[in-house]
Structure 1
Amino acid sequence: MDFTIPADLRDVLDRVRAFVDEEVLPAEAEVTDLDDLLTSWDVVERLRDGARERGIYTPHLPERWGGLGIGVLGMSLINEICGVSILASLAINAMAPDEGNMHTLLMAGTEEQLETWLRPLAAGEIRSCFAMTEPDVASSDPTNLQTSAVRDGDDWVLNGTKWCITGAEGASIAIVVAKTGTDDAAGHRNYSLILVPTDTPGWKVARHPDWMGAHYPGGHPVIELENVRVPQANLLGNEGEGFVIAQKRLAGGRLAHAMRWIGASQRVLDLATTRLTQRTAFGKELAEQQGLQFMIADSAMDLYASRLMVLHTAWKVEHGLPHRQEVAMTKTFVSEAFGRVADRAVQIHGAAGVAKDLPVARIYEDSRSARIYDGASEVHRMVMARACLQLARKGESTRVAAGDLT
């Protein structure tokens, strides 16, 4: 096994790390409201200029679209560096949901759709959102989704309600998951992806629930679609392929999230270890208290396992190898490890851990939702178990479904 990072990728990683240390982290003090980053968007724009100057802007896109053409494995390493601050991924224009939407357009978009929407997304001229989740159904099962898209002449007419639609406030384009078929036996093949410009009559940002953690520009609002009419040419991919395209999008997206969680976990571990070396209790440095040492050791193990899981899964994705099981295991383990590391950091900081003077409390809040979005842990466990049991029913070992490398 060769864990050597290629020289060209090492150069990019060094530039990203220097950018984060020298420009991004100091800029956090300029943000007036972390719950509403749009109020400090001038800070993001300045950072994006800095990213362009350093040649690290939109690294995930092909060169045709102004990117560096870096694959899933390289982006995993970049996302870890950027995970220390939400400003970092925004600054290099590789933050959800825009990053995932760019990949979705590349996978399924027509040339006209690419020029109309991917071009300005890549340039950072517009933002986007992905409208899938709904408030009235268990959206972990996509066949529950009720938002409909019905043909009417040369148009699609959409009706329904979406919620927790990240970045929707101020977004220019939405990729909407809508029910276009009526055959119950077709299951997920009844669903398609449709591009909806947000200035289309009938598209409405209805309200902004007060969410715990997960702070993004544009929030996570409720969206109401009432007789939203768009051309049939706004279908993204083929009719009935919405679920298949979304799953392909989510594989890379889940790994990107996981590496950002690792970056955030590393930040709070660094803060926690520094805290332990600077304070004393019961006549000795906190770092000498064995119970606290165990917390640090457990967090270090969580980070080590998380890194290896993501990088191995990213390697499989990049080489076109089967990876569904690995993505499910990685997303579940890393999201839960993130919560454990953040929780220990809060405990180590004591009262300072629950105050928002430091980033520890905010990162802890963000960690909780990681076990829900992009597939709840329980759903991923169902997928993992199913793969093991299918092998058992065929009289085979579950080795292949349990991370076997041979």
Structure 2
Amino acid sequence: MIDFSIPADLVAERDRVRRFVTDRVIPFERDPRLTAHGPTDELRRDLVELARAEDLLTIQAPKEFGGRGLTHLEQAVLYEAAGWSTLGPVAMNCAAPDEGNMFLLGKIADPEQAERYLRPMLDGHQRSVFAMTEPCGAGSDPAQLNTEARFDGANFTVNGRKWLITGAKGAKTWIIMARLAPSPELAAAGLEPGPTLFLTDGDQPGIVIERTMNTMDRNYVAGHGVVRFDDLVLPRSALLGETGKALRYAQLRLAPARLTHCMRWLGAAERAQHIAIEHARTRTAFGKPIGEHEGVSFLLADNEIALHQCRLTIWHACWLMDRGEQARHESSMAKSFVSEELFKVADRCVQVLGGIGISDETVVEMIFRDMRAFRLYDGPTEVHKYAIGRKILRDN
């Protein structure tokens, strides 16, 4: 039996999250600290304290770390409510990349690493980065990793260049992916070469933040950076998980992270639709509210259909994951479908709003720009469709 009902306690919590975002977070959307490169860390800290006071901070954390231990379906309901403002997930400490990084560290960090790096993140005191993407290497295909680590028997030395590293400026916890080069010292230590994750502090000598890139989106704290690793020396204790298994760990992180992106952006798209509906009720043209004209009402109807389809797609993938399945295929389908459909929703909202839709009189233009970037986060649509197509050919 398929049951789409939401338990009463989850409904109450969803409504509480929505009220918090509406009453406490949305006023900060006009704060000058929401810059072209995203919220400043100062703004993030202020928002975090608001969520802490309401007991809504890092609700996704495991119970042993003081969180709620939410199921994926519970996350879907609450993250959608948080996404009503792009600052909502920032306030509640469930925004990317920290949310995905916290999930990964919770899975593979050893106890000492968890206490040093994960707990301050869960408490909202520091941010993190996942440094994988490269200008001429790893990106949609992480196997093209060029950043290299060499082991001398005691320490690793990392050299390479990364870009589009979200939140790099000011981040304290760094997860770095590098290709561990074969060497006699590596073999003697019983370590495997290949793509490997390292965990370190952001203020280490050898981590050089060259600049912050100018991008169309502005919902991530500190934007996206260009980073150089210049003889970054890391001790053996900096290894995150086992050597040579970074690509496997990246998939462990990315499958649920694709879905949480979808959850948050569903909430933002709903907000855009809400604004468009209110405009269609009050703006008149040719003798009546524009919402009574077929052209506009059809746009709003298409949006409502798309929002419903996206929600069901997300919920199904979450249901599978809560049953213990990896759901990589379904999460790829969700990311591909939801990112494309929600962008169309935002585009239609701009159209309904007319001239003010391209201005900052409402947040719709910001949601539209951010939604365009969402189509590239955690793999562009084409990469997911390629993976989906390969599975279809293999299994049928």
User: Normalised by the size of structure 1, how large is the TM-score?
Assistant: 0.91
Indicate yes or no: 2:295 matched with 1:291. yes
Stretches (4+) displaced over 6 A:
none
Letter of the 1:383 partner, please give it. Answer: A
The one-letter code sitting in structure 1 at the alignment partner of 2:343 is G
SS where residue 4 of structure 1 aligns? coil
Q: What are the within-5 Å matches in structure 2 for residues 109-148 of structure 1?
A: 109-137=109-137, 139-148=139-148
| Correspondence for 1:360 | 364
What pairs up with 1:1-400 in 2 under 5 angstroms? 1-39=2-40, 41-137=41-137, 139-181=139-181, 190-392=194-396
- Tell me which amino acid in the other structure corresponds to 1:164: L
Between the aligned partners of 1:63 and 1:325, the Cα distance in structure 2 is 29
- For the 8 Å contact 1:189–1:241, the answer to whether it is kept is no
User: How far did 1:227 drift?
Assistant: 0.6
Instruction: Decide whether the 8 Å contact of 1:346 with 1:354 is kept in 2.
Output: yes
Q: How far does the alpha carbon of each residue in 1:159-192 deviate from its partner, in whole angstroms, 9 at most, with x for none?
A: 1000000011000121011111459xxxx98211
Supply the distance in 2 between the matched residues of 1:391 and 1:295 (Cα, whole angstroms). Answer: 38
Checking the alignment, whether the CA contact within 8 Å between 1:31 and 1:43 is kept in structure 2 is no
| 1:2 partner amino acid | D
Greater Cα offset, 210-219 or 328-337: 210-219
Q: Tell me which moved more, 162-171 or 320-329.
A: 320-329
Deviation at 1:214, TM superposition (A): 4.1
Measure the CA separation in 2 of the matches of 1:308 and 1:237. 35
What is the total number of aligned residue pairs between the two structures?
Answer: 387
Partner of 2:189: none
Q: For residues 18 and 384 of structure 1, what CA distance do their matches in structure 2 show?
A: 38
Secondary structure at 2:345 match in 1: helix
Partner deviation per Cα, 1:250-307 (whole Å, 9 max, x = no partner): 1111111001111111011111111111111122220111111111111111101000
CA contact (8 A) 2:37 2:224 kept: no
Farther off after superposition, 70-79 or 2-11: 2-11
- The aligned amino acid for 2:56 is I
Instruction: State the shift of 1:120 in Å.
Output: 0.8
Distance 2:265 2:39 in 1: 22
1:372 corresponds to which letter in structure 2? L
Q: Provide the C-alpha distance between the structure 2 equivalents of 1:52 and 1:165, rounded to a whole number of angstroms.
A: 27
Q: What is the alpha-carbon distance in structure 2 between the residues aligned to residue 15 and residue 161 of structure 1?
A: 43
Distance 1:180 1:263, change over 3 A: same
Contact 1:59 1:70 in 2 (8 A): yes
**RMSD, aligned CA:** 1.8
- Check the 8 A contact 1:56/1:68 in 2, yes or no: no
Write the deviation string for residues 135-176 of structure 1: whole angstroms up to 9, x where unpaired.
113621111110011112311110100000001100012101
| 3-state SS of 1:86 partner | coil
Q: What is the alpha-carbon distance in structure 2 between the residues aligned to residue 69 and residue 149 of structure 1?
A: 35
How far apart are 1:87 and its partner, in Å? 1.7
| 2:187 match | none
> Contact 2:34–2:43 (CA<8 Å) still a contact in 1?
no
Q: Distance in 1 between matches of 2:289 and 2:202?
A: 56
Unaligned runs of 5+ in 1: 393-406
Contact kept? 1:145, 1:178, Cα under 8 Å: yes
- How far, CA to CA, are the matches of 2:287 and 2:141 in structure 1? 55
Preserved CA contact (<8 Å) 2:83 2:268: yes
- CA drift at 1:314: 0.8
SS of equivalent to 1:76? helix
Q: Deviations over 1:344-396 (max 9, x none)?
A: 1111111111112211111111111111120111110011111111122xxxx
2:158–2:233 contact (8 Å) kept in structure 1: yes
Give 3-state SS (helix, strand or coil) of 1:57's partner.
coil
Whole-angstrom distance in 2 between the partners of 1:108 and 1:322: 17
Q: CA deviation at 1:204?
A: 0.6
CA contact (8 A) 2:160 2:229 kept: yes
In the superposition, relative to structure 1, how do residues 296 and 382 fare at CA in structure 2: closer, same or farther (>3 Å)?
Answer: same
The answer to whether the 8 A contact 2:15-2:81 is kept is no
Q: Match for 2:169: what amino acid?
A: E
